[in-house]
């Protein structure tokens, strides 16, 4: 399985510096540990397709709408035009957009699944990301399947699309509300980072909210908040452990246990509800 996609996150060489504890750790050991630091348990970022390989049964993933790409409604231009930026990130990441969605199996349980990837314009939510999340949610309703969305978004609404991007927060939230009203099970998995418009919409609306250890989670980042309110924040502010302590999360799950934990939750909260035992019916 290939994990190392981005030089910034995982440089070449036999040894790498951990972003968590700053220790030099043997690259092969980190790779064998599913990109988790053996010294401090820091979870390095994983490319979205590799994360899907970790969570889904082999060869079970069927991707939906893989060729959907954004338009340029504002003719936006900063250092480059929006189409040029999209093209550059497509070449860099190998993705068409920041979200991958489809259907797969988690220990044999059919599941609708979506994932956002920070390697594509920081995982920001443009019209394509919102449309894919809304569509996969609608499919989960029609096929009566559980929905799992893994968020890794360091960006908010995508400014290059203006109001079309902001609309996705309401659209995805409405889709999730419809899904939950229909009795569906929605599990949100928050990875480092999970910020901005994603966290202000679908990522925080789940029946069960899980995070990886030490993931940065929030709306604005801690530096922006501290500069705004002019107060010193707790050292672990907006980390998964802080949010679990304050009731925002249901659980923190190590990467090596994530697939089995998702399978256990789907079995208990979806499969048994769809197929109750005779004793339960009685």
Interval 140-162: pLDDT, tens: 999 999 999 999 987 778 889 99
Considering the domain architecture, whether residues 7 and 123 belong to the same structural domain is answered as: no
Considering the domain architecture, whether residues 147 and 214 belong to the same structural domain is answered as: yes
Considering the domain architecture, whether residues 232 and 129 belong to the same structural domain is answered as: yes
User: Which 3 state secondary structure label does DSSP give 46?
Assistant: coil
Do residues 175 and 212 make contact, with C-beta atoms less than 8 angstroms apart?
A: no
Do residues 188 and 210 make contact, with C-beta atoms less than 8 angstroms apart?
A: yes
Considering the domain architecture, whether residues 68 and 33 belong to the same structural domain is answered as: no
Considering the domain architecture, whether residues 69 and 51 belong to the same structural domain is answered as: yes
Indicate whether 282 pLDDT > 50: no
φ, ψ of residue 188 in degrees (nearest 5): -105, 130
Length of the chain: 282
Considering the domain architecture, whether residues 250 and 156 belong to the same structural domain is answered as: yes
- The percentage of the chain sitting over the pLDDT mark of 90, rounded to a whole number, equals 65
Considering the domain architecture, whether residues 133 and 10 belong to the same structural domain is answered as: no
C-alpha distances in angstroms, 263 versus 16, 107, 109, 211? 33, 6, 7, 16
Where residue 280 falls (left for φ over 0; alpha for ψ -120 to 50; beta otherwise) is alpha
Write down the pTM of the prediction.
0.88
pLDDT digits (tens, 9 = 90+) for 166-180: 999 999 999 999 999
Mean pLDDT over 218-226 rounds to: 85
User: Which 3 state secondary structure label does DSSP give 186?
Assistant: strand
Considering the domain architecture, whether residues 258 and 126 belong to the same structural domain is answered as: yes
Average pLDDT for the chain: 90
Indicate whether 11 pLDDT > 70: no
Considering the domain architecture, whether residues 126 and 25 belong to the same structural domain is answered as: no
- pLDDT for 3 equals 45
pLDDT digits (tens, 9 = 90+) for 74-111: 999 988 999 999 999 999 999 999 999 999 999 999 99
C-alpha distances in angstroms, 127 versus 102, 136, 188, 270, 280? 18, 14, 20, 30, 44
Q: Which residue has the higher pLDDT, 270 or 4?
A: 270
- pLDDT for 235 equals 83
Considering the domain architecture, whether residues 36 and 92 belong to the same structural domain is answered as: no
> Domain with 54 in it: what CATH number?
3.90.226.10
Mean pLDDT over 60-68 rounds to: 97
Indicate whether 1 pLDDT > 80: no
Considering the domain architecture, whether residues 54 and 160 belong to the same structural domain is answered as: yes
Mean pLDDT over 189-216 rounds to: 94
Q: How many whole angstroms from its chain centre is CA 199?
A: 10
What domain range includes position 111?
Answer: 46-281
Residue 37 CB: number of other CB atoms within 10 A? 21
Split into its structural domains, the chain has a count of: 2
Considering the domain architecture, whether residues 21 and 53 belong to the same structural domain is answered as: no
Least confident range from 18-32, 50-64, 204-218: namely: 18-32
Within the chain, strands assigned E span 15-17, 24-26, 62-64, 99-106, 109-116, 147-153, 186-194, 208-211, 251-252
């Amino acid at each position: 399985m290939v994990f190392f996609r981005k030089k910034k996150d995982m440089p070449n060489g036999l040894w790498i510096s951990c972003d968590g504890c700053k220790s030099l750790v043997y690259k092969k050991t980190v790779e064998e540990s599913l990109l988790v630091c053996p010294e401090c348990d820091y979870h390095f970022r994983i490319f979205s397709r590799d994360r899907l390989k970790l969570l889904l049964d082999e060869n079970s993933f069927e991707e939906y709408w893989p060729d959907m790409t954004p338009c340029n409604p504002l003719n936006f231009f900063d250092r480059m035009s929006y189409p040029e930026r999209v093209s550059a990130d497509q070449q860099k990441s190998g993705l068409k957009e920041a979200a991958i969605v489809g259907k797969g199996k988690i220990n044999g349980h059919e599941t609708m699944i979506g994932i956002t990837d920070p390697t594509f314009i920081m995982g920001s939510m443009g019209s394509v990301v919102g449309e894919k999340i809304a569509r996969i949610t609608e499919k989960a309703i029609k096929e009566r399947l559980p929905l799992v969305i893994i968020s890794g978004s360091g960006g908010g609404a995508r400014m290059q699309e203006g109001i079309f991007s902001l609309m996705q927060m309401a659209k995805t939230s409405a889709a999730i509300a419809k899904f939950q009203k229909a009795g569906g099970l929605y599990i949100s998995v928050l990875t480092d980072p999970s910020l901005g418009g994603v966290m202000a919409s679908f990522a925080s609306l789940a029946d069960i909210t899980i995070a990886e250890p030490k993931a940065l989670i929030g709306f604005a980042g801690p530096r922006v908040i501290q500069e705004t309110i002019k107060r010193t924040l707790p050292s672990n502010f907006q980390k998964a452990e802080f949010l679990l302590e304050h009731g925002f999360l249901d659980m923190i799950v190590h990467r090596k246990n994530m697939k089995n934990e998702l399978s256990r939750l789907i079995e208990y909260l979806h499969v048994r509800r769809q197929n109750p035992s005779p004793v339960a019916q009685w």
